[in-house]
Structure 1
Amino acid sequence: MSYTFSATQVKELMQQHFNLAVSVKELTGYDEANFLVREDNGNAYICKIADASHQVAFLDAQVKILEHLAASAVGKQLQQVVKNTRGEGITRIEIDGDLYHLRVLTWLEGEPMATVPPATALNTALGEFLGKMDAALAGFSHPAMHRHYAWDLAQAAIAGQQLVHIKDPEHRRLAGYFLLQFDTVVAPALPQLRKAYIHNDANDYNILIRQTEISGLIDFGDMVYTQLVNNLAIACTYVMLSAKDPLAAAVETVAAYHAVYPLTVAETDLLYYLVAARLCISVTTSAAQAAAGSDNAYHFVTEAPAWQLLSHLITINPLAAQDAFRRACGFTPLINAEADYAGLLADRKAHIGRNLSISYQEPLKIVRGALQYLYDDKGRTFIDCVNNPSHVGHCHPTVVRAMQQQIATLNTNTRYLHDHLVDYANSLISTLPPSLEVCYFTNSGSEANDLAIRMSRHYTQQQDVIVLDHAYHGTSTVAMQLSPYKFDGKGGFGQPAHTHKALNPDQYRGAYRYDDAQAGPRYAADVQDIISRLQANGKGVAAYICETLLGVGGQIPLPPGYLQEAYAAVRAAGGLCIADEVQVGFGRVGDAFWGFELQGVTPDIVVMGKPIGNGHPLAAVVTTRAVADAFNNGMEYFNTFGGNPVSMATGLAVLQVIREEGLQEHARVTGNYFMEGLRKLKAKHAIIGDVRGHGFFIGAELVRDRETLEPAVPEIDVIVEAMKQRGFLLSTDGPLHNVLKIKPPMVFNKANTDALLHHLDAVLDSL
């Protein structure tokens, strides 16, 4: 409001138009001027003055709705309209040629709910009050309430335009995730829901409390014609805001509302996401106000608790919330905690290859993913500590929207020109040393490793490949031939003639350990020995392939200087050096974007997979111009799906998220914090023999005896199962299956870390 009304002016207006002699006190307000006015006899009113930006028709609607409700069951808990001396509910005022509209309402006594300790009685009273009010409004209508309004939950998608104003990456990602769910879950269901004229802003400052009763609901300035359930969802949002158990508090309000004005199943099933939508509108609006330079404290009054509730909300399985609301209303539950998966397991056994394993003694049926969280069909939430393909988080909104937009536009192959192909190639090589400049796109890390070996054999005209013992490079025939983890294991076919195993450079239990400053060069000498034996037999080497941090080999960082010596030996023999970054690339190691950078080397070929597409089937081989030219020998290389527009849009989005959200630095800081916590547990629990890793690539090796290094098996399996029961998904790795592997989505945070360490400590105590 450009013009500022003084207390003296308001006093004169009250005398002139209402024949009331009053004292005046200015109040804060969102977009109207508000004044508390009192008569000498104690009667109190609120005077509201709106400028020309407020439509008179909508001001009239606010008057009419209060008049409609005056005689209802909740009439005494609502303000009454005070008419002017001409019998009008709206008083027209003109000052200096500008038009203003004044309304006077009775004053309601009570404390804002925000200032009152939460209580079941209040939650129930609020639900009952809203149910009665909405029932009373069933016969009301006003055309001015049919409006397009940003605070209408049905319009929550608009809030997405303001995400850019949220500075904190974790907050922006969280709000973006819930707005994505609004688009995909809520929006399609809205047309089938009941619509009504609703208050639309039963927030904790508009709800007034006296003792344990609702004494009033004020401020009808957000009224709108929209889905009926939105009114309840907004109230639930603010009930949850300060509750110790937010979901339980909302259930109390929903049950009381339903008892007075019955809900439908479809309405209760959307409440979880509608609460999230309200919070997203709130926090994005606050962010936009801050960006615009607002100093109005009312614009930010709910911001901090709203973020806190959003952060809590994502830890609640949506199915658990839906089930709780259904049960509160007496509807058929969604969850049967006692149900087993016998039928599903039988079908899987009958029609899916039996050597496709299932994790955990009690299988999980995961039905939704949310950043670092996974939700199962029984209402449980799990913190994902091991699914590294979902690099930037399950259902990351930026990645999902990029995929949705592109697949709705075009998906074809690389025989046609498309900007995404070269745009992504350019973006990808910008993260690599200059010599790595030619890209080939595939669908999986296995396929990429296969292609890399094929390229090395073309370039060198040799067949023999050096790998590390216990290594794993994929499931294709060639990749299996490079994987001692497979060919030496149960059902394996044995070591192929052209594959040669170098020592696993394990500094914990290998030949050269942490106390040996020359461990790296000494392990690398084994690569030279293999080369020398090949040369003695008249053979050369096509390639040396090595994960830049070892995965199934035991979550092992390479010793300092290892790759420098190994690469030098291979290149001196005419071979190529292949860095397998399928597990560790794209900033996971924190201190660098690529694992090979930790060793100060530049490979001839880099193989990428898993994190490159955040779980989308995308992989890549990036190599030098010389290797690419040698591979271009007249035989066309064509991959039906490799480099398709959807995959390229996905890859671009992943790189965008890593950059914009600072995830590499996040992995460094949080990963170091994580390992520090594990080392503290190591000092307490003798079963932890070693803690190692970089960033979010962490291993904790468990042993029965720190001297003999006897592996703690089956103890580690007991620990993994116990952690799963506590809501943390971990797995095991290493040649002896005694290493806890920790490779969470990059959005895993310190709160998740603290929770995991706390529960792991308790589980280890129980052993």
Structure 2
Amino acid sequence: MTQTFNFFEQAALPAPEITVAQAAEYVRATYGIEGEATELGSQQDANFLVSAADAQYVLKVSNAAFTREDLAAQDLAAAHVARHEADIQVPGAVPGPDGSTVQPIAFGGRPTYARLVTFVAGDVLSDSAYLAPEIVAALGDLAARTSRALAGLGGEVPARSLQWDLRNAAEVVTRLADFVTVPGGPDAARAAASTAAKALAPYAGNLPLQVIHGDLTDDNVIATVDADGRRRPVGVIDFGDLTESWSIAELAVTCTSLLYHSPDLSTMLPAIVAYDRIRPISDDELAALGPLVVLRAAALMVSGQQQTQVDRDNRYASENLAREWAIFEQATSVPLEVLTELIRASVRPRNEGRTIDGSALLWIGDEPVVPAQLDLSTTSVDLHDGGFLLDEAEEAVAKRDESAAVAVPFLQPRLTRTRLNSFEAPASVGLGVEVFAVQELELRAPWAGVIQRHDDAVALKGRDGVTLWLSGASVDAEGALETGDALGQLTPGAALRVQLTDLETRPPFFIQASLADAWAGSCPDPTGLIDAVATPPTVDHLLERRESAFAPVQEHYFREPPQIERGWRNHLFDTEGRSYLDMVNNVSILGHGHPRLAAAVEQQWRLLNTNSRFHYRAVVEFSERLSELLPEPLDAVFLVNSGTEADDLALRLAWANTGRRDVIAVREAYHGWSDATDAISTSVADNPNALHSRPSWVHTVAAPNAYRGQYRGPDAYRYAEDAVAYINKLSPPPAAFLSESFYGNAGGMALPDGYLQAVYAAVRRAGGLCIADEVQVGYGRLGNHFWGFEQQGVVPDIVTVAKAMGNGHPLGAVITTAAIAAGYRSQGYFFSSAGGSPVSCVAGTTVLDVLRDEQLQENARVVGDHLRMRLLELADRHPIIGAVHGMGLYVGVELVRDRITLEPAAAETAAICERMRELGVIMQPTSDRLCVLKIKPPLGVTITDADFFADALDRVLTEGW
């Protein structure tokens, strides 16, 4: 077939010169459509959005280099996709007066052709700065289905030699590299393209050919906003690079465009996996995909640089320069071998790691040294009490060992490399073995080779193309060496990094965990040089085991939960060394891993742990401390294991003292899982049938929600009036009114002023008791108040508390009057097997001591005020934030789709929490509508932590989720 176009015969391809006025007039004269034209971007063509009274169109004025046949083929391809993949939206061609979809046009310069196509409604996907894994997968799915449809076109598309055909990419880079103005850019482009072309060569002849779109990028994919507020791919536009090429090139182009959306190369993997499900990728195509991504990135970058110089008025091309350079940098950020393995392993089982054997590297005299293993992982017992955050933490742990040397295993993620409050995962994985010398050691060559010296390391190039890299030792050997020859010495206290690689360049020593397996394909395990037995890391399918053995109704946070194995103060840490700011764990009120609490509990465990029917000091001291924190006459303490037990016992106290059964509860609240507490729990988020499955003795009053309830703003006082009226007419009268004293489950919302004063008075007039559920809000979380009921100016008859009491130790309490406590005698006696045990009491007393000594209630006030200020500022800029509720460190950010209708943004809230986790923040939704971010962190969070949280939320709401 004769070629209609050959890029290499063109000196340059400047875009046609046509104004918006000319475009509008052309559409009117040629198609009889009156409309306003707006310029759209294009690198080598001219595109205009034409808005008519009843529809929108796109006028596409082609570069003069392209023929009528080229353009007709684009319309043919779009129609073909529409027929075979009906749910992919594509532009439809509008015929001109002669019935043809390709019409001549002669504005500015040489005559060329134009087409009018229907506008595909939506936004281009590139308008989303962030693409969630599901969206990346959806883009891969779209690329595969487009490829499947176009495969049926056969020989109906003219042969063309395009600049964007990846079969030509290496030559494009060679020809255009000198246009690159970035320092070092021309050489970098040529080197990358040369390396990629060489890697591609063995597979190129085996790659299937077909017609491809050729530019299926985020710029040419139309997306519409889905229920979760994300732009989801629905259509494909701009078939201008249509040609026959390698089928796998379609996916390579798509993957390359994704590199701009994240600094993590693994971001593109969901697209590859999704594509493979529909268009299975052969082994040869998998091997070719990495080189093709690099070639596309290099060709894109040099082409953009050239276009801005031959077409200086092309704003579209100029604005894309930074983006294209960033894509090129990302594509070449790791050696091509690593990129290829990363891609391959996403759809094929991972290769087993290689171990290279050799003669012993470490010696003392005539004896080889086998180092003891040094554990720097997240679960290391040597890193308690935040020791992993100290300077020289690794050296300090190494010195504790009495062996001649200790070594950190190959690919072990190190907690010592974590970074607090960071949007990115740390480079925590050692791509080699690091040896810490306790005694002086001699280094000997493990094989014959030649020494090469570098700035801070030496390389011993040896057999089979494998190079040994050593840094940290004093190496005085030169030239060629034989096996066992002396290399140098390692002095006590020094650290030796040992790496192997078959790459031509030196690999980094520390890498992110997401890239560890890919790097390991080019960097064998060097354990065999210092230990006869290598213990490669094993894959533990822990989540599958959990779902098999742990009843799935006990749900976990997040779609793909990280494995959290350590906490310290206000942060949690996963097994890859990633830190997460914990903004939701109200149970750990002191923070995680508090050494004072750990020491006190350990000491008591060594002394005694039994039940409270024995006589011991701890239960007396803790009960006294609790009653001292409450106003008179609340001085009788029951100790239990949980909030559920506490609320359940409070109900039984009310029933025993009043001789009545009926209870009034507030809607949208949660109080526990026992039969009685579930009966008064009315949150449909916890139980979808909550409002329809209440027993007859449970009566509910409206949730006093001043933001979205029946009464809002200044009218919120009417909630109390309605509740009082309901109580007054209830027959039989209630035994108790039980409610949270600060509206927690609904999103950290204060009750209307005077609400509890009015309701408590009505309940007491009816002979009932007033129960304050302080399980979530008590213990200083409000900052201004130790107890939530203090904010309402009331004193309950019974107070229930749990969660924070033990900082994670199972501990709860019911505090009431002596008379009410004595009234329980009619039911027999009360006993809780573990409630009030010595260990529990010591835990509870220590928590109170730390709250006092570290002034955590005051910290909750100061940091909470600062956080609230930051969140209100975000609300001024992000319409999705409908309101900021709460006080102190009990805050709720309510997200809405519309500030007038207050439509809950539930799906968006869930997606935002997933994105926050990716950025290093633990956050979860709450309320019956699941549209409130529940912010209930440990009370030790700092101003720095609060700012990191606010910055992360700002980034998510700005970039997307």
On the 8 A contact 2:564/2:572 being kept in 1, the answer is: yes
Partner of 1:554: 747
Q: Deviations over 1:41-84 (max 9, x none)?
A: xxxxxxxxxxxxxxxxxxxxxxxxxxxxxxxxxxxxxxxxxxxx
Partner of 2:651: 453
Partner of 1:644: 837
CA offset at residue 601 of structure 1?
0.4
Q: Which amino acid aligns with 1:483?
A: S
Distance 1:354-1:513 versus aligned 2 partners, 3 A rule: same
Provide the rounded CA distance (Å) in 2 between the counterparts of 1:753 and 1:193.
43
* SS of equivalent residue, structure 2 residue 826: coil
Q: Which amino acid aligns with 2:924?
A: S
Question: Are positions 1:464 and 2:662 aligned together?
Answer: yes
614, 635, 644: which one pairs with 1:416?
A: 614
Q: Which amino acid aligns with 2:403?
A: R
Where do 1:207-222 residues align within 5 Å?
none
On the 8 A contact 2:439/2:492 being kept in 1, the answer is: no
Distance 1:261-1:441 versus aligned 2 partners, 3 A rule: farther
* SS of equivalent residue, structure 1 residue 691: strand
CA offset at residue 486 of structure 1?
5.3
Provide the rounded CA distance (Å) in 1 between the counterparts of 2:875 and 2:898.
13
Q: Deviations over 1:159-195 (max 9, x none)?
A: xxxxxxxxxxxxxxx996549999x999999775326
Question: Are positions 1:496 and 2:695 aligned together?
Answer: yes
Q: Which amino acid aligns with 1:406?
A: Q
CA offset at residue 532 of structure 1?
2.9
Q: Deviations over 1:355-403 (max 9, x none)?
A: 1111111112101110101000122110000000001001111111111
Distance 1:652-1:708 versus aligned 2 partners, 3 A rule: same
On the 8 A contact 1:180/1:397 being kept in 2, the answer is: no
Runs of at least 5 residues in structure 2 that lack an aligned partner in the other structure: 1-361, 368-382, 406-435, 442-468, 476-487, 498-511, 529-533
CA offset at residue 610 of structure 1?
0.3
* SS of equivalent residue, structure 2 residue 639: strand
Q: Which amino acid aligns with 1:193?
A: E
CA offset at residue 711 of structure 1?
1.1
Provide the rounded CA distance (Å) in 1 between the counterparts of 2:955 and 2:814.
44
Question: Are positions 1:387 and 2:387 aligned together?
Answer: no
Question: Are positions 1:444 and 2:642 aligned together?
Answer: yes
Q: Which amino acid aligns with 2:729?
A: R
623, 627, 652: which one pairs with 1:425?
A: 623
Question: Are positions 1:695 and 2:911 aligned together?
Answer: no
Partner of 1:278: none
Partner of 1:38: none
Partner of 2:403: 194
Partner of 1:404: 602
Partner of 1:529: 725
CA offset at residue 633 of structure 1?
2.8
Question: Are positions 1:510 and 2:709 aligned together?
Answer: yes
Q: Which has the higher contact order (CA 8 A, sep 6+)?
A: 1
Provide the rounded CA distance (Å) in 2 between the counterparts of 1:175 and 1:230.
26
Provide the rounded CA distance (Å) in 2 between the counterparts of 1:351 and 1:477.
25
On the 8 A contact 2:404/2:439 being kept in 1, the answer is: no
Provide the rounded CA distance (Å) in 1 between the counterparts of 2:641 and 2:915.
35
RMSD of aligned Cα (Å): 3.9
CA offset at residue 267 of structure 1?
9.3
CA offset at residue 347 of structure 1?
2.2
Is 358-367 or 605-614 further displaced after alignment?
A: 358-367
* SS of equivalent residue, structure 1 residue 358: coil
Q: Deviations over 1:72-109 (max 9, x none)?
A: xxxxxxxxxxxxxxxxxxxxxxxxxxxxxxxxxxxxxx
Runs of at least 5 residues in structure 1 that lack an aligned partner in the other structure: 1-133, 140-173, 197-226, 233-252, 270-315
Q: Which amino acid aligns with 2:899?
A: R
What is the number of residues matched between the two proteins?
Answer: 488
Distance 1:747-1:229 versus aligned 2 partners, 3 A rule: farther
Provide the rounded CA distance (Å) in 1 between the counterparts of 2:778 and 2:440.
47
737, 743, 749: which one pairs with 2:930?
A: 737
CA offset at residue 721 of structure 1?
0.9
Question: Are positions 1:669 and 2:878 aligned together?
Answer: no
Provide the rounded CA distance (Å) in 2 between the counterparts of 1:530 and 1:263.
82
Partner of 2:560: 362
Provide the rounded CA distance (Å) in 2 between the counterparts of 1:439 and 1:571.
22
Q: Which amino acid aligns with 2:877?
A: K
On the 8 A contact 1:177/1:396 being kept in 2, the answer is: no
Q: Deviations over 1:222-252 (max 9, x none)?
A: xxxxx965999xxxxxxxxxxxxxxxxxxxx
Partner of 2:956: 763
Q: Which amino acid aligns with 1:507?
A: A
Provide the rounded CA distance (Å) in 2 between the counterparts of 1:508 and 1:369.
35
Partner of 2:571: 373
Q: Which amino acid aligns with 1:581?
A: E
On the 8 A contact 2:772/2:799 being kept in 1, the answer is: yes
On the 8 A contact 1:384/1:745 being kept in 2, the answer is: yes
Provide the rounded CA distance (Å) in 1 between the counterparts of 2:940 and 2:525.
36
Distance 1:330-1:450 versus aligned 2 partners, 3 A rule: same
Q: Deviations over 1:382-425 (max 9, x none)?
A: 00000000010011111111111101111011121111101001
Q: Higher helix proportion, which one?
A: 1
CA offset at residue 556 of structure 1?
1.5
Q: Which amino acid aligns with 1:392?
A: L
Q: Which amino acid aligns with 1:700?
A: V
Where do 1:483-632 residues align within 5 Å?
483-485=681-683, 489-490=687-688, 492=690, 494-516=693-715, 519-520=716-717, 522-535=718-731, 539-632=732-825
654, 672, 678: which one pairs with 2:847?
A: 654
Provide the rounded CA distance (Å) in 2 between the counterparts of 1:657 and 1:330.
47
Partner of 1:476: 674
680, 686, 695: which one pairs with 2:873?
A: 680
Identity %: 40
Provide the rounded CA distance (Å) in 1 between the counterparts of 2:620 and 2:726.
40
Partner of 2:31: none
CA offset at residue 533 of structure 1?
3.4
Provide the rounded CA distance (Å) in 2 between the counterparts of 1:398 and 1:729.
25
Distance 1:335-1:741 versus aligned 2 partners, 3 A rule: farther
Provide the rounded CA distance (Å) in 2 between the counterparts of 1:430 and 1:329.
61
Distance 1:707-1:268 versus aligned 2 partners, 3 A rule: farther
Provide the rounded CA distance (Å) in 2 between the counterparts of 1:498 and 1:329.
68
Provide the rounded CA distance (Å) in 2 between the counterparts of 1:704 and 1:467.
30
On the 8 A contact 2:782/2:861 being kept in 1, the answer is: yes
CA offset at residue 635 of structure 1?
1.1
Structure showing greater Rg: 2
Question: Are positions 1:726 and 2:919 aligned together?
Answer: yes
On the 8 A contact 2:440/2:490 being kept in 1, the answer is: no
Provide the rounded CA distance (Å) in 1 between the counterparts of 2:474 and 2:667.
64
Provide the rounded CA distance (Å) in 2 between the counterparts of 1:638 and 1:677.
47
Where do 1:86-125 residues align within 5 Å?
none
CA offset at residue 759 of structure 1?
1.6
* SS of equivalent residue, structure 1 residue 408: helix
On the 8 A contact 1:258/1:329 being kept in 2, the answer is: no
Distance 1:416-1:378 versus aligned 2 partners, 3 A rule: same
CA offset at residue 505 of structure 1?
0.7
Provide the rounded CA distance (Å) in 1 between the counterparts of 2:535 and 2:955.
32
Partner of 2:907: 714
Distance 1:229-1:624 versus aligned 2 partners, 3 A rule: farther
Provide the rounded CA distance (Å) in 2 between the counterparts of 1:442 and 1:726.
38
CA offset at residue 722 of structure 1?
0.9
Instruction: Name the TM-score, length of structure 1 as normaliser.
Output: 0.58
Provide the rounded CA distance (Å) in 2 between the counterparts of 1:526 and 1:495.
21
* SS of equivalent residue, structure 1 residue 649: helix
CA offset at residue 328 of structure 1?
13
Q: Deviations over 1:540-574 (max 9, x none)?
A: 21111111122222321111111111111111111
455, 464, 472: which one pairs with 1:256?
A: 472
